[in-house]
Amino acid sequence: MGFFKDRLLFTHDTWGLTIVRVMLGLVILPHGAQKLFGWFGGQGAAGFMQGFEQMSGLPGWLGWLVIIIEFIGALCLILGFWVRFWGLCIIGLFAGIILAIQLPYGFFMNWGGNQAGEGYEYHLLVIGMAWALVVGGAGKLSVDQSMANQERRF
């Protein structure tokens, strides 16, 4: 069990990973807050779940998984808690969004408003940032780093 925990918590002691982690969390958190609380012009959990099930045809528990990843996962990224785990969750979520929704609309986002949906360029950036965190860890000023250092002291 110690090996798994060491691999999960180990992080390179760099500010670069910290910046990626915090920025990714700050960008994803408002999306989760829209879905969970209705903040920032969102519909809240009930509205999101209704739209999610109607548009995707997927079961409601997957909608709750989206909310958890986007809200709890983003908070954990900002704090640097279990960053590798949440990074993998974000990769899975955004790969699913690309495959299920964005792929038919191509690469580019709909800056001109001339297509029916959005492309997947933003989603690829999110996946790239999350992958960097899965590989490198949480960076400086993270709960993961503190927990890993505490384990080494005993």
For residue 37, the tally of other CB atoms under 10 A from its CB is: 13
Q: Is 44 inside any structural domain?
A: yes
Nearest to 117 by CA among 106, 105, 125: 105
Kindly state the tokens that stand for 132: 């960097």
- Residue 132 CA to residue 28 CA, distance in Å, equals 16
Range of the domain at 97: 17-153
Kindly state the tokens that stand for 45: 């959990």
What is the per-residue pLDDT across 143-153, written as a single tens digit (0 to 9) for each? 888 888 775 55
What is the per-residue pLDDT across 17-55, written as a single tens digit (0 to 9) for each? 999 999 999 999 999 999 999 999 999 999 999 998 888
pTM for this structure?
Answer: 0.89
115: left (phi over 0), alpha (psi -120 to 50) or beta: beta
Provide the CB-side half-sphere exposure for 146 (13 A, CA): 6
Q: Is 2 inside any structural domain?
A: no
Tell me the residue length of the chain.
154
Q: Is 10 inside any structural domain?
A: no
The answer to whether 149 and 4 are in contact (CB under 8 A) is no
118: left (phi over 0), alpha (psi -120 to 50) or beta: beta
Q: Is 76 inside any structural domain?
A: yes
Q: Is 7 inside any structural domain?
A: no
Q: Is 4 inside any structural domain?
A: no
Q: Is 104 inside any structural domain?
A: yes
What is the per-residue pLDDT across 55-112, written as a single tens digit (0 to 9) for each? 888 888 999 999 999 999 999 999 999 999 999 999 999 999 999 888 999 999 888 8
Q: What is the CA radius of gyration of the chain?
A: 17
Q: How are the residues of the chain apportioned to helix, strand and coil, as percentages rounded to the nearest 5?
A: 75, 0, 25
The answer to whether 32 and 70 are in contact (CB under 8 A) is yes
Q: What is the pLDDT of residue 151?
A: 59
Q: Is 103 inside any structural domain?
A: yes
What is the domain count for the chain?
1
User: How far does Cα 26 stand from its chain's mean position?
Assistant: 10
